[in-house]
Each structure stands twice: as structure tokens, then as C-alpha cells.
Structure 1
């Protein structure tokens, strides 16, 4: 871990809730809102989330699978995300979600008219905004946890 945690304190609760409560609590609430209020399908949601997890290298995020109504993506989905360009397991929305996540994180200046034309064929304007905010949350908070060395002990908080 790259920051000192007082003995007996939960690292996640301490960093996100106590160290900078005005920011950490708001960040945690934003992170929770992404899961609680999404309108995106599970597969495209997880494709984007897992692509960001791969790019961030966040151990917890790579192991986590979002569950909705008792359903999770299938075993092997993470491998399909790695191969998003060529996998036959993805429909166009899921493939675009993985592509958008990657490009958002690594080449946001390269999101050109051709890409946006494909996005607007498959996603509504509201879905694009929602996906953008979700990707931003995962990029920022997964990277924060990885950089600070918290990702080995991270759990999705219920409240901070």
C-alpha cells in the first residue's frame, strides 16, 4: 500500500470516508450511483467496466462481476473483453462499449466522426452520456485504488 492506514482501520473506508470526507464520500456515492441507476444492458456495462479494469490493472475490478437480478456475465467474458475486436461472443453494442472504454482511456482525442457514427447507430444520446459517466467513474476510481495500492482490499462500498 502506498499510504499509511492506522492499525485497525479498514483501508477502503478510511481512505474514501475519513481521509478526505468531502471528496471521498461524494466519490463513493457517484461510484454507487453508476451501479444503482444504470439503464445499460449487463453485457455492455460489463464490457466497458472490465476493459477499464484491464487498462487500470485494478485487481479487485478484474475479479468483480456485476450482478443483476441474480445474473452475471458468463465465464470467459473477461477473455472476450480482451479480444473485443474479434470475439464472436459480442453483439455490436457490447463490442462498441469495450471499444469506447479503451479509446476513452487511451485515445480520447482520436474519437472521430466514424466512431461517433457507429455509436449513434447503436446507442441513444442518453445512453452515450451514461456510458461516458460510468467509464469516467471506473477509470478514475479503479486507477485511484490501484495507484494507492488499495485494490487488493477493495470492496464495493454500501455506504461510506
Structure 2
């Protein structure tokens, strides 16, 4: 798959697209948005719940870098607890029957699938929204929509510009630091 932008010699396409492509103000907004969504200091959604939403989208897009990321391991401060690999496997397969999912995680997985694939029917499904409201606060539902929308939109943008099967692997720590925009974490502390 070709890149739809010029990637300067010696630079990684994903770094160029995420951290340099666009006007400076919008690039800065994207970097800050990712820091806030992944750090999520105010959300009550657990790290596992966020990974149940994030990972299926990365699998659908097919970026090997995103697919290899385990936020509990690769994003400092994301989680104090490891997340078992079986959760990622079940989330990617949309395996609602996997016994390791909590009721909330299973519902988030369903939301993610439908948000990505059946958005037209999502709003009109009263039974689904009754389950959402029984399990999530209004603030959490807002966080779910913002996170899912961010991951879907950025993922589609990356795929559109050619990120996918050509991403270099493995990712070294310097590249991972640039993708995480670690300089923003340092500035905030």
C-alpha cells in the first residue's frame, strides 16, 4: 500500500503523519488529544475497558505497530496491572462469549463493533441503550463516544494515508516516545 504523502528519507511514516502532518496548531491538538485520551486522568473507565474499545479498531485497520501495542506495557501510567493477552485476542475476534470479559467490557465491545460497523442502527436500539445506562454513567458514556470517535477517526486517517502493512517493526523506544508525545507528559508534570 503506498503512502499518500511524501515521507522524508530516514523518517518513519507513522511519526511523520501523527506528529508533523498538518498545520502546527492542529498537529499540537492531535498530540494533546492522544495524551489526554490515553492518560485519561479523570475517566472512570478502567484500563481494561479502554483496551477492549481501542484494540479491535487497530486490528481492523491492520497497523502492525498499533496492533503490537499493549497500553498497560507501552504507555507509562496507563495501568498498574498487566492485561492478559487473551483479552486482546477475544476483543479482536469480537468474542462476546469470552468468560474473561466483565459485563461492562462485553457491552463496550458490542458498542465498539456497532460504532465501527453499524452506526445507523446504534441510536435507535432502545434495549442497547437501556443496558448502557444500567452499566455506565452519563459521563462514562460521553468518554466512550469521545474515545471511540478519536480512535476510529485517526485510524481511518492513518489507513487513508497508507499506514498499515508497511509500518516498520519492531518499534524502538525512541520511536515509541515520539508516538506517545512524551514531551507533553514532561511539560504537564
In the superposition, the TM-score normalised over structure 2's length comes to 0.75
Q: Is 1:105 matched with 2:108?
A: no
Instruction: Determine if contact 2:58/2:67 at 8 Å carries over to the other structure.
Output: yes
Within 1, Cα distance between the matches of 2:21 and 2:120? 34
Corresponding residue for residue 145 of structure 1: 158
Corresponding residue for residue 8 of structure 1: 10
- Closer/same/farther in 2, CA of residues 146 and 71 from structure 1, 3 Å limit: farther
- Closer/same/farther in 2, CA of residues 147 and 71 from structure 1, 3 Å limit: farther
Within 2, Cα distance between the matches of 1:95 and 1:69? 20
Which of these residues, 9, 13, 17, is aligned with residue 19 of structure 2? Answer: 17
Partner SS, residue 20 of structure 2? helix
Within 1, Cα distance between the matches of 2:47 and 2:21? 33
In the superposition, the TM-score normalised over structure 1's length comes to 0.87
Instruction: Determine if contact 2:47/2:79 at 8 Å carries over to the other structure.
Output: no
Cα distance, 1:10 vs structure 2:
4.1
Instruction: Determine if contact 1:56/1:143 at 8 Å carries over to the other structure.
Output: yes
Report the number of matched residues: 160
RMSD of aligned alpha carbons: 2.1
Unmatched runs of 5 consecutive residues or more in structure 2: 73-77, 169-174, 185-189
